[in-house]
Amino acid sequence: MRDLTENTPKPLLEVSGRPLLSYVIEKLLKETSGNIYVASGYLKEKLKVYLNELNNERVHYIPQPENIEIAERIRRVMPYISSKELIFCNSDTIYSHDISQQFTELKKSNCGVCVLSGSFPIFLGTFLANSPHNEFLRHRYASRAYDSNGEEIKVNVGMTFINKSFLQRMFEEFDSEFENQFETYIFNKAIKEKTFTFYDCHENWFCCDTPEDLEKASNFFC
């Protein structure tokens, strides 16, 4: 995507004539009641202009340095968040499932983490689920639905609900030397503490990591 993002931040790449980010924001505005915080550093002035043009009091831009890991991005946003539960979602993925149902699942389960998951090949981290060695793997490709032992593989689709108190505790315990592994750390910690659950996505979703992904999504939404 380097050619496409040289002058345009990835969230503003278009799918069917609209920025990727617009699909995410539209869904969050419709299916949640809290504020939306966009935290990104690359070509941030363009993102700021776009978000200002939305002119929605629930949508806020939190400027970030360009080259910091996700743990630090989240840490910088935390002071703005007053709710007990948070939603983290990728700005390059379009979702069609009902977010409110995933939120209900988190509350019902009383878990610290609820991950939107799928069971098919995609360019994201994966979970070995329903096995004695449940764990999150930072392998970038899930090429099949089951591993060599027949254990189910679930895919991290890119939307995670997290209990704020659990997240704050993770920051207190986390070694800052491994900031690029923060997602892996909190997922595996929640699995180990049995405070982790999945919400399986049976709807359409598009992770736009390549020009071909953008084209596929555009064909679907045209």
Q: What is the pLDDT of residues 53-65, one digit of tens each?
A: 999 999 999 888 8
Region 11-27 average pLDDT: 92
Residue 135 confidence (pLDDT): 64
Structure confidence by residue, pLDDT tens digits, 124-160: 556 665 554 566 665 544 444 555 566 666 777 778 8
Give Cα 216 distance to the centre of its chain: 20
Structure confidence by residue, pLDDT tens digits, 177-215: 666 678 888 888 888 888 888 887 766 777 788 888 888
Q: Is the pLDDT of residue 78 over 50?
A: yes
φ, ψ dihedrals at 35, nearest 5°: -80, 155
Closest CA to 96 of 116, 74, 111: 116
Residue 95 confidence (pLDDT): 80
Q: For the full predicted model, state whether its pTM sits above 0.75.
A: yes
Structure confidence by residue, pLDDT tens digits, 41-52: 788 889 899 999
Percent of the chain with pLDDT over 90: 14
Q: Is the pLDDT of residue 163 over 70?
A: yes
Residue 39 confidence (pLDDT): 87
Region 13-18 average pLDDT: 91
14 conformational bin, left if phi > 0, alpha if psi -120 to 50, beta if neither? beta
Structure confidence by residue, pLDDT tens digits, 115-124: 877 655 444 5
Residue 2 confidence (pLDDT): 77
Q: How far is the C-alpha of 24 from the C-alpha of 26, rounded, in Å?
A: 6
**Average pLDDT of the residues of the chain:** 80
Closest CA to 157 of 114, 193, 192: 114
Closest CA to 138 of 154, 125, 157, 152: 125
Residue 123 confidence (pLDDT): 44
Residue 193 confidence (pLDDT): 87
> Distance between the two ends of the chain, CA-based, in angstroms?
21
Structural domains of the chain sorted by starting position, each given as residue range(s) with its CATH number in brackets: 10-221 (3.90.550.10)
Residue 140 confidence (pLDDT): 47
Q: Which residue has the higher pLDDT, 163 or 174?
A: 163
Percent of the chain with pLDDT over 70: 80
